[in-house]
Amino acid sequence: MTQMDTKLAQVGLSTDPNTGAVSPPIYHSATFANKGYGLTNDYYYSRVKNPTRTQLEDTIAELEGGAYGFAFASGMAATSAIMQLFVPGDHLIVSEDLYGGTHRLFTQILSRYEITTTFVDTADINKVKESIMPNTKGILIETPSNPMLRVTSLQEISDFCKKHNIISIVDNTFMTPYLQRPLNFGIDIVYHSGTKYIGGHNDVICGLVVVEREDIAEKLTFIQNTTGAVLGPQDCWLVLRGLKTLALRMDRQQENAQKLAESLLNHVAVSNVYYLFSPLMNLDTY
Ligand SMILES: *Cc1c(COP(=O)(O)O)cnc(C)c1O
């Protein structure tokens, strides 16, 4: 993990070529002047591209081991943008234990556009296999899931999706790239609510998406620019700052959560504890 720790601690460090600023500048500019008549600038309008956002997008892409990153105004904006890859008539298989907002997006918004969903326990690959239909175009999983912490095999889902030419999508909010990098398993799209562990300070709402495939990146670039739910530069900077301490925070929160879960195991009023205990722990002693 040393390499990841170091990468995180150095997020955004001295990346401004103009000034050498150690902390990345926040570019509060809606538009950018062209360099001259007929000469275009890399940046011209901040919905399309903003330098502070680019910094965050490149950072999350690198951390997830992908090629293209996208920053959105919220986790739900990110999920909505991903869903715009699909068209009426498409069917998706989705983890039945799922963040409430994502469930609502499928049942109350996407259903209106004739995008249909089957919710199954994706931890059981046989249930996934049984749910496939001729029009199945995507599988979306949370692993571990929110709130029941069910675990789905990234490899099984990735292999299944490749075999059937289905887009695989993973909500990596609970693990963050510090603990889990779904693209390494061949997953097509990984996304986050950056509002949670990645931001880490309860001061920003954010969504992040990373892909490796250029064809999907091109479509997401078009969707992000056209529908416009981008993350503002100030918020991008807050997320970049939050990322620097991600390794430390994740280690400590796991330590604390494990202690809490252990003490609940011993509590007379508690019959079930849903927690991903370390495989090294001997649960028989509880
Ligand atoms: C919070 C959350 C979301 C939604 O993200 P917002 O930033 O609140 O829009 C999506 N997935 C999971 C697992 C979450 O916990």
Contact 77, 232 (CB under 8 A): no
The answer to the question of residue 79 being in a domain is: yes
pLDDT band at 39 (very low <50, low <70, confident <90, very high): confident
Gap between the Cα atoms of 109 and 115, Å rounded: 9
Model confidence over 128-139: pLDDT tens digits? 999 999 999 999
The answer to the question of residue 271 being in a domain is: no
Tell me the pTM. 0.96
User: Which residue CA neighbors atom 12 of ligand 1 most closely?
Assistant: 99
State if residue 90 touches ligand 1 by the CB under 6 angstroms criterion. no
State if residue 173 touches ligand 1 by the CB under 6 angstroms criterion. yes
The answer to the question of residue 185 being in a domain is: yes
Residue 32 belongs to domain with CATH number = 3.40.640.10
The answer to the question of residue 273 being in a domain is: no
Half-sphere exposure of 28 (CA within 13 A, CB side): 2
The answer to the question of residue 145 being in a domain is: yes
Model confidence over 178-216: pLDDT tens digits? 999 999 999 999 999 999 999 999 999 999 999 999 999
- Percent of the chain at pLDDT above 90? 89
**Among this protein's residues, is 244 annotated catalytic?**
no
Helix-, strand-, coil-residue percentages of the chain, each rounded to 5: 40, 15, 45
Residue range(s) defining the domain that contains residue 84: 3-246
State if residue 74 touches ligand 1 by the CB under 6 angstroms criterion. yes
Gap between the Cα atoms of 79 and 17, Å rounded: 33
The answer to the question of residue 44 being in a domain is: yes
Gap between the Cα atoms of 182 and 166, Å rounded: 16
The answer to the question of residue 285 being in a domain is: no
pLDDT over 90 at 277, yes or no: no
Gap between the Cα atoms of 31 and 44, Å rounded: 5
- Percent of the chain at pLDDT above 70? 97
The answer to the question of residue 284 being in a domain is: no
Choosing from 7, 127, 196, 213, the catalytic residue is 196
State if residue 145 touches ligand 1 by the CB under 6 angstroms criterion. no
The DSSP code sequence of 28-51 is --SB---SBTTB--S-SBTTT--H
How many structural domains does the chain have?
A: 1
Q: Which atom from ligand 1 is nearest to the alpha carbon of 101?
A: 4
Q: Which atom from ligand 1 is nearest to the alpha carbon of 79?
A: 10
Residue 145's pLDDT is 95
**Among this protein's residues, is 163 annotated catalytic?**
no
State if residue 75 touches ligand 1 by the CB under 6 angstroms criterion. yes
**Among this protein's residues, is 196 annotated catalytic?**
yes
Gap between the Cα atoms of 188 and 166, Å rounded: 9
**Among this protein's residues, is 53 annotated catalytic?**
no
